Structure formats: structure tokens, C-alpha cells
Structure 1
Amino acid sequence: MKKTLLAILISGIVLFVLSYFFVSLNQETKALTNEDRSNAPGKFITLEHGLVHYDYEKKDSSELIVFIHGGGITGMEVWRNNIPYFQKKGYQTLAYDLYGRGYTDRPSIVYTPALMVDQLAQLLDTLQIKQPFTIISMSMGAMVALEYANKYPEHVKKIVFLDPATTGDYKPNALLKMPVVSNLLMTFYWYPKAVENQRKEFVDQQLFESYSERLKYFMEFKGYKYVNHSTWMHTLNQRNIELLKNLHQDVLLIYGERDPYFPTGNIATYQSLSPTLQHHGIKDAGHMPHFEKSHEVNPLIYSFLTGSAVSE
């Protein structure tokens, strides 16, 4: 009887291990290659931790806007409805993919706010950008904007937050802190649900279906699970909102009124730290109001930048 139970136990363990490797082999099936990058807009530049994808529209003597996306794997593609608008208004624009996102390298390092701030600083330095600029940031990118503006206050003129994630509200499950268990959870549970879990970030479900195709494309490149896990453990659980009180720049906060990740109660906290902060809610928009309702958000930001009334 004992031998039978032992045999069943061993068989179960072997079957489980084989299942894990089988499932893993069908996830992150591709390496990010030069061929993949040849289809990407913009250019690439080598920084300390690898190749970085960026798009810099330079114009002499024009004001510059730097766009910092959030934690999403599609990277700077989330600005596709915004950047052309500001270029037509005469602005220079710089957008880039954070490490681990889009077409930028996915190094096996710890993903912290400091890493992302250093990436931005190195990118600006390498491109020899010396003029002060405005930052438009979303979600996790707001954390980068806050820390960068505190470290280099003379470089930043104004800041726009879109559904910012600076309060450290994300609390990872304790099981994710256990190496073997976390690998199992990422493989068997999180990765298969990754795309569908982002559906709740959108009000416009037809738009989500289109966006989800790009999610599926980028999540097939190796490193996706590692990057997200490291970001949960070392960035999204961090709180840096108190840095707001150190800023001298004007700040605009825009949020989707149906964003599941940004409780409207956070607005009072932002205002207590930055009394002159302006804020606007976007009706029937989720976590990316600039993506779902660009026709409303773009003029709001332009009005903030120019001090003019919204006319569009």
C-alpha cells in the first residue's frame, strides 16, 4: 500500500513538473530580434542596461514634451493618439519604451523607480537634450516623473499625470515573494489571464479588442513574466507621492472616472501635497483616458501647457 501511494505521489510530481515545462515552452516563445525591431517606428540607442527604443521629433527652438508610459507591455504605443496632436501644435516630442517594455531590451535586473529615472536621465544626456521640458506621464510613469523632477528640478517645466500610480496601493500576494511558488503562479495562473485581466482598464471594449492584439504580440517575447514580477515587487508597491510637496512646477492630474486603479479619494491626497494642482475627470474612461478619449484629453493638456481656454 505504501509503495503504491509513493508511486502515485512520484508520478504526480513528475506529471506536474512535465506540465510546468510544457506550459512554459508555449509562453514567451520568441526572442526580441533586430528583425522585430526593423518594423518599429523611431530609433534605437544603447544605454547602460541595453538597447532602448525611442522616437524623437526634434524642432529648433520649440518646446519639448517628454512622454513616459506606464507599466504596460506595449510601451510608448499608448501615446499614438496624443503625440501627433502635440506635434501639429508645434511641440518637439520625445517618447520611449521603458526597460522591459515595447521594443526596448528586457534585462534580468531589478525593476525599480531608480532604474527608470536613470534610464530617462541617460537617454536625455545621450541625445544631448539640455532644454527644460514638460513631462506627460501615465500610471507607473508618474512615479518616474515625480522622482525625476525631484532629482533634476531645473529640467522640468510642467508635469501632467494621467491616472498616476504613486501611492503604493498595489500589495503583491505573499506567495509571489516565494521564488518557486511565484514561478508556478506566473506560469499557470497569471500569464494565461494577463490579456483578459486588462479588459477592466477599458470602458470602450471594441477599442480594447484592438489594443489586446498588441498586448499578445509583445507578451510573446522572452522576459515578460520576469519583468512584471520584478515590477510588482520593487516598483508598484512603492509610495513616492509625498515628493509632490517638493515640486515647484505646475501639475495637472487627469483621471478616468471609471478607472479601477485610481480611486477618486486619492485626489484629496494629491491636493494636500500640491495645493495648486489642477484635476479633471474624464467621463466613461478607464485607466488610459488619453487613449480612450484623446479628443477630450489632448485639448485639456494643451490648455494647461499654454494657459489658454479649452477650445476644442
Structure 2
Amino acid sequence: MRYFTTRAEGAALDDALRDEVRGEFVTTGAGLTHYELRGPARGELVLLVGGLTVPLYYWDRFAIQLHAHGYRTLAFSLYGRGYSDRVATTYDEALLVGQIAGLCAALDVQPRHVVGSSLGALVAMSYVRDHSPAVDSVSLVGPAGMERRLPRGAGLLRYGSLGWLLGKVVGDRMLEQHLGHNVEQEALAAQLSEMVRTCYRVDGSLYSLCSTVADYPLVDRHDLYRDHRSSGVPTLLVWGAEDDVTPIGRLPEVETLLGPSHTHVIGNCGHMASFERPADVAAVFTTFLTSLSER
């Protein structure tokens, strides 16, 4: 897919804009990554990997919960999200997994625990497989990758010039539809939409989204789940009971493939459990880690 910008964008991601936002920036290979390293200095480090559209701010309420339990967090925005660079390249697995490896190397840190949500769950498993097999735990929240094929409209993004044209014309509509199905609570849905929309004013944001859908292996990732199970890394699986983005109906299949150490379903919760129910997810997460330390 050729790089493009749209009329809905118009903001340059330059030093002036970066100076306006919270967080730090570091070069991670393909570009600058926007990140925050927060929490108790001596706490075990938890790497937080977000999904298809969200900036690092998505993790704020969850990170605060972890800090209260003594953990340190590293949140960041994937390329094309938040205020990380919009890279004029293919948004594939090598790019996004390599970004995490570059970030950890640049900061000279080694996460003890990795949490991934939706697309971020796939990125997290691939990162652990390729770069960090010695982590103590992985937690997957509403993980993607179980569908056999992309929805018909999204699948068209993979077809050269047609995908480029479709992205330019209806990419914004695709974003809106995605945001409209993420959380159950209306007030939080509005907050999430504003958070994401503010960042999507940056030139190249919709290209990054469309290229990820077209070029990242988002579907039929059964082998990745099997590989993760064979790694033996203790794994927590969390799902919102009302999740219809990565449908809760896939839970039994994921459990069979993944063999998680523990599974927890959060009632009255949509796709973005870490954002919608941060205290509940943090409680499950910390209880899970405590159980591991007591083995």
C-alpha cells in the first residue's frame, strides 16, 4: 500500500507537537517511539502493548493500579499510533515486534512481565518468541488472531491500488466503526474516541491503520498460540464477557490452543477490559503473579 494522508489529518508530527504532549521519545530503529516509564523504581517491569488504534494513554488507569501494587510499567505507542512516528513503510510483524525490541534496547530494560491487548496480544507473543523468551509471565486481554479471514471490506485493503483508494476514501469510517464497538459504558466510549481521534489528526495515521490491517498477520494465528504454549511461559488469559470485536465465543478455542495458566472472564465488559475495568484486570493480574511466586 502506498503512503497517503487524508483531509481529516493535517497535523505534522514535529518537535513542536511532541513538546505539547506527555511522555518521552526515543529512536527505536524505524523512527521515534513515544513512551512512558513510570512507577516504583525498584518494581518488576511490566511491558504494556496496545491494540490496533490506541495510544499509550490507553493504559493510564490500568498502570496506576499496577503502580499501587509495586510494579513499574513501560507503556508506548506502536508506530502510527499516539505520537510515535508514522513510518512510510509496511506495517508488518517485523516492524512492530522490532519496535519493542528497539525500545527495550534503547532504554536498557528487560521486562519481567508482558501484557498485550487485542492486536497487542499478537505482538506481545511474537516479541516474547523472538526476543525475550525468559520473561516471567505473559497476559493476553481480548486477544486477536482467531478469525479465519478479514471482514470483506477490510480484506480489500490488501489489493494494491484498490486498497490504497479504499483506505483514503473510507479509512476514517472504518476507524469510527471500530471505536464504536470497543467498550460497553457510554461515557468511557466517548473518552476513548476522543483519546484516539486527537492522535489521528497527525498526517499518516489512517495510512498506518490501513497498512496494519492489510499487512500485519491479524487472522488465522493459531500456530502463534500453539508456539506460545510450547514456550512454557506462564500465561494469563482475560476476556470481556460482552466483547464482540475479538468475540468471547472464541475463548474455548483459544484455551485449547494456548493452555493458559489461568483464565478470567470479566462480566459486563466489552473489548477493552484494561481500559474499561482497570481495577478488575489489575486484581486478576496481581493475583496471578502472586500465585506464580508461591509455586
| TM-score (normalizing by structure 1) | 0.83
1:227 to 208, 221, 234: 208
Provide the alpha-carbon RMSD of the alignment.
2.1
- 1:162 and 2:144 aligned: no
Q: Note if 1:26 corresponds to 2:10.
A: no
Give the alignment of 1:58-207 within 5 angstroms: 59-72=40-53, 74-130=54-110, 133-171=112-150, 173=152, 174-192=155-173, 194-207=175-188
The runs of 5 or more residues in structure 2 that have no matched partner are none
CA–CA separation in structure 2 for the residues paired with 1:92 and 1:178: 42
Match of 2:199 in 1: 218
Paired residues of 1:172 and 1:237 also in contact (CA < 8 A): no
Residue 230 of structure 1 aligns to a residue whose secondary structure is helix
Contact kept? 2:65, 2:282, Cα under 8 Å = yes
Amino acid at match of 2:175: A
CA distance in 2, matches of 1:295, 1:58: 16
Contact 1:203/1:285 (8 A) holds in 2: yes
Q: Is the contact between residue 69 and residue 139 of structure 1 (CA under 8 Å) also seen in structure 2? A: yes
Aligned length: 283
Structure 1 distance, partners of 2:129, 2:147, is 18
Q: Residue 225 of structure 1: CA displacement?
A: 2.0
The correspondence of residues 234-273 of structure 1 with structure 2, limited to 5 A, is 234-235=215-216, 236-237=218-219, 239=221, 240-273=224-257
In the aligned structure 2, how far is the partner of 1:99 from the partner of 1:217? 16
1:52 maps to which residue? Answer: 33
- Read off the aligned partner of 2:161 and give its amino acid letter: V
Question: Amino acid of the residue matched to residue 140 of structure 2?
Answer: F
Indicate conservation of the 8 Å contact 1:195/1:215, yes or no. no
Select the structure with the greater relative contact order (CA < 8 A; seq sep ≥ 6): 2
Quote the sequence identity (%).
28
1:112 CA displacement: 1.2
After superposition, the C-alpha distances for 1:211-266 in whole angstroms (9 at most, x for unaligned) are: 21122211111112211111111222362222222221111111111111223342
- 1:25–1:255 Cα change, 3 Å: closer
1:169 is displaced (CA, Å) by 4.2
Task: Give 1:274 shift.
Answer: 3.5
Residue segments in structure 1 that go unaligned for 5+ positions in a row: 1-23
Within 2, Cα distance between the matches of 1:62 and 1:25? 43
Checking the alignment, whether the CA contact within 8 Å between 1:241 and 1:270 is kept in structure 2 is yes
1:195/1:216 contact within 8 Å kept: no
Larger Rg belongs to: 1
Displacement, 1:192?
Answer: 3.8
